[in-house]
A and B are shown apart, each in its own frame.
Chain A
Amino acid sequence: MSVQVTVNGSATELADGATVATLVAGRSGGHDRVAVALNGDVVPRSRWTATPLSPGDRLEVLAPTAGG
């Protein structure tokens, strides 16, 4: 079983039972100040482990960069 979601614009297959926390662990690339949006809403860090992912979810996983 797997869950099809869209992460940062790309179709992604995750293991069944995946949560925001497991997704971030695999995608954060060493960033420690990651923020996550799920279907257009912020998911606070405190809720990452308790937020399961469902088929069709759209996620944005963001990190700090330079900007003006």
Chain B
Amino acid sequence: MSTSELVPALQQEEAADPFVLGGEAFTSRLILGTGGLPSLDVLERVVRTSGSQLVTVALRRVEAAAGSSMVGVLEGCGVRLLPNTAGCQTAREAVLTAQLSREAFGTDWIKLEVIGDERTLLPDAVELLDAAEQLVAGGFTVLAYTNDDPILGRRLADSGCAAVMPLGSPIGSGLGIRNPHNIALLRELVDVPVVLDAGIGTASDAALAMELGCDAVLLASAVTRARNPERMALAMRQAVEGGRLARSAGRIPRRWHAEASTSMAGLPDL
């Protein structure tokens, strides 16, 4: 099946199984980050190929910000914008960044990131929960990037976050999902959507996230820094869909020893 034949088939599968987040229904379960792409032209092709309907963006000082046409390109693709609080290290910074994003982008949706340091980019649990509580109280729809800690995830869900987004491994590392058991446990513990966010390196990582029960996958570097971003965007789209289908299809149990699929009955004595 060629790429052009495959995309309509994927669209059918996606439409039959909507992803409800913050009261909105999406057909795509792939949330795309935009950081790291070489040009607006590649950005547009990657967004369209990925099928993503929710795309992350950021705020920076005007001197360092991308051209104003970036938002225009994304709006032309018909996607919803999800501002992030990337780089914030305290609840105060994150809350202010969310408020500034609401001004700039006209949305109260926020991907909440509060990191502990710039070397690991790992979330600071204490500041994160504080920020989440303040933002929920302020009327924001909070999608919280968090550690792969089921108990912290439950605390974030209890605080009113619209989604809990555990990392698979550190941001941009491409190390995949280092603790699959915790991701599956978190999925069991909360009633809000769980989005695997950060660490995806290749398609099998995205498929695994969905097989573990995640409701969606958020990734940026795995696509934007791939040698061929557009091709990787399609790979991720297929992987998310494949993992989702496999999850709902019910995998076979793991066995220590083999179990023949060909019947032994009637085996000839040669």
Contact = CB atoms under 8 A, between A and B. Distances in A.
Interface of A: 8-9, 27-37, 40-42, 44-45, 60-68
Given A33-B68, A37-B100, A42-B99, A64 B105 contact: yes
Indicate the size class of the contact surface on chain B.
35 or more
B65 A62 contact: yes
A9 to B, nearest CB: 8
B171 interface: yes
Contacts of B35: 66-68
B65 A64 contact: yes
B86 to A, nearest CB: 5
Query: DSSP class of B's interface residues: helix, strand, loop or mixed?
Result: mixed
Interface string B203-226: 000000000000000001100100
B6 interface: no
Contacts of A32: 68
Contact of B66 (A28, A34, A45, A64): A64
Contacts of B57: 64-67
A8 B84 contact: no
Given A33-B68, A33-B71, A65 B36 contact: no
